[in-house]
Structure formats: C-alpha cells, structure tokens
Amino acid sequence: MTLYQIDAFADKLFSGNPAAVMPLDKWIDEALMQNLAMENNLAETVFFVPKGEDFDIRWFTPAAEINLCGHATLASAYVLFNILGYKKPTITFHSKSGPLIITKEKDIISMDFPSWKPERLDDHPDDLEKILGVKEIVGVYKHRDLLVELNDERDVRKADPDFTLIKKTGYKIIITAPGANASGRLERPDALANVDFVSRFFAPTYGVDEDSVTGSAHSQLIPFWSEKLGKTKMEALQLSKRGGHLIVEQKGDRVQMGGKCVFYMKGEISFP
C-alpha cells in the first residue's frame, strides 16, 4: 500500500495541514483503515477508491471516522492531479456528506462543499470562557460543530483552550473572529490586511487537540461570515501554529474553498 503525505492549504513545506493520502483499488476493512490512521498519527488519513469515472472517499482521524474533511480532500486531489496522472479537469468524490466536486486552475485546487450555516445556540456548555481560555464570547452557534464568535483576531490568537475540558463537552469547537479587512480594528502592513475572518479548530474528542487547517469547519464559517459581512468572496486564515490560508466563496447552498498543496513524501506500507 502506498502512502503520500501532503501539506494542504500551504505554499511552502512545513506549513498548512499535513494529510496522509492512501489510494486504494478497492475498500479494505474499516478496522484496518482506523489502525492505519492511528499509526499515521496525523489529523486525517484519507482513503479513496475508483467509482466509475469518479471516486468514493473516506476520512479517519487517529480516533474515529469523520463525515467531511477539507484538507485531506484537497491533498487527495493533489495526488490525483499531480502524481497519479489524472487528466480530466474535474474530480468528483462521493462521500458521507454527498458529492464533492474538485477543480484545478494552475496551482490552486478548489473544492465545492456543502454550506452548513450554523444557528445560534443558547443551550451550550457552561463556562465556555474558561474552557476556551478567552475573556469574552460574542455568540455561540452550531451546525455540526460549535462555532464560538470572539471579538477580534487577537482574541483568537491568544485563546488558551483546556483540551481536557473540551473533550468532556463532546463537541468539536471552532473559534472565530473578523479579520483585519473586516473589522478595521488592526492596521496591518502584511498579508493579513486582506483577511476577512480568522479561526482555530479544536477536536480532542476525535484525537486532534488543535487542527492546523480545517476545510470542514469552513463549511460553517463561510456562510456565517458571508451573512455577517454581506459578501460572498472572502479570504480566511486559520491561526494554528502551522497556519493556513484559504480563498473562499459562498455559492447558494454550497461553498467553495481553495488553496495550494506541497508534496512532502511517498512511502510504502508492508504487512507481514
């Protein structure tokens, strides 16, 4: 079995979010896929198999299977386009979250994902400020995951979450705030000046304390900020240690997010 490790939503090595990509000819046992993901010990290991002219796709964290993952989908498309010789302009992955359509323009790979608009949630865990290590929360929302709005970029950066307490809630949690371009609060001479919103993502229940760049979280973030900011085309930054830059768009009941990938390694897994 061949394994590729790709840095997704990255334009240089050791940035973005690394994913283990394992193309298959046919599905293997689910328990084996979970063990491989545990052994790889990355936020996601992704498997895909041919389905006619398309592909079926599944994603596993070290602890569990999830229903949608953006960065590993981006990495899978990169492997198909750039390594495995896929020549068509569009890839369709069939997933537990429906069909995902992937396109490529030069070195930007764009993904068509479902739009998951989060709704305000009043019945949320107590002491979220303590759990997330923040001083003030603007609002709490939910679709698949909790989305917690903070005041500005600095609050997102400085958040000091208690992963044990997050795990006890059972939720995956997104924290987010307007970027410099949206808030007008920060005067920045660097590339962050054009960012519309920022985020971080915590999922210790699924074996990932903090994810580096999370495409599935942006299925919630894009409709949330599109409505708040009154715009459909935006730029986003995930403020993890590795960081990740996304070009995003709200398109009706779908969202589009795009980015670059960088090849890290190819390996071979052998079984006795």
Q: Using one digit for the tens of pLDDT, what is the confidence trace for 122-150? A: 999 989 999 999 999 999 999 999 999 99
Total domain count for the chain? Answer: 2
Q: Quick one: 151 and 94 in the same domain?
A: no
Range of the domain at 236: 119-252
CA distances from 73 to 21, 25, 115, 121, 177 (A): 9, 17, 16, 29, 25
Neighbours of 158 (CB within 10 A): 12
Q: Quick one: 140 and 77 in the same domain?
A: no
Share of the chain above pLDDT 70, in %: 95
Q: Quick one: 131 and 71 in the same domain?
A: no
pLDDT given at position 194: 80
pLDDT given at position 182: 65
Q: Quick one: 176 and 237 in the same domain?
A: yes
Q: What is the average pLDDT across 159-166?
A: 98
Q: Using one digit for the tens of pLDDT, what is the confidence trace for 233-265? A: 999 999 999 988 899 999 999 999 999 999 999
Q: Quick one: 245 and 124 in the same domain?
A: yes
Residue 179 and residue 195 in contact, taking contact as beta carbons nearer than 8 Å = yes
Nearest to 58 by CA among 75, 49, 257: 49
Q: Quick one: 132 and 168 in the same domain?
A: yes
Residue 20 and residue 45 in contact, taking contact as beta carbons nearer than 8 Å = yes
Q: Quick one: 130 and 110 in the same domain?
A: no
Question: CA–CA separation, 11 vs 191, rounded Å?
Answer: 14
**Would you name the residues annotated as active-site residues?**
44
Q: Quick one: 125 and 238 in the same domain?
A: yes
Token pair in block for residue 268: 């071979």
Q: Quick one: 68 and 169 in the same domain?
A: no
Q: Quick one: 78 and 38 in the same domain?
A: yes
Token pair in block for residue 55: 């592909």
CATH number at residue 77: 3.10.310.10
pTM of the full structure: 0.90
Q: Quick one: 137 and 233 in the same domain?
A: yes
Token pair in block for residue 202: 């915590």
**Phi then psi for 66, rounded to 5 degrees?**
-120, 165
Q: Quick one: 95 and 183 in the same domain?
A: no
Q: Using one digit for the tens of pLDDT, what is the confidence trace for 66-101? A: 999 999 999 999 999 999 999 999 999 999 999 999
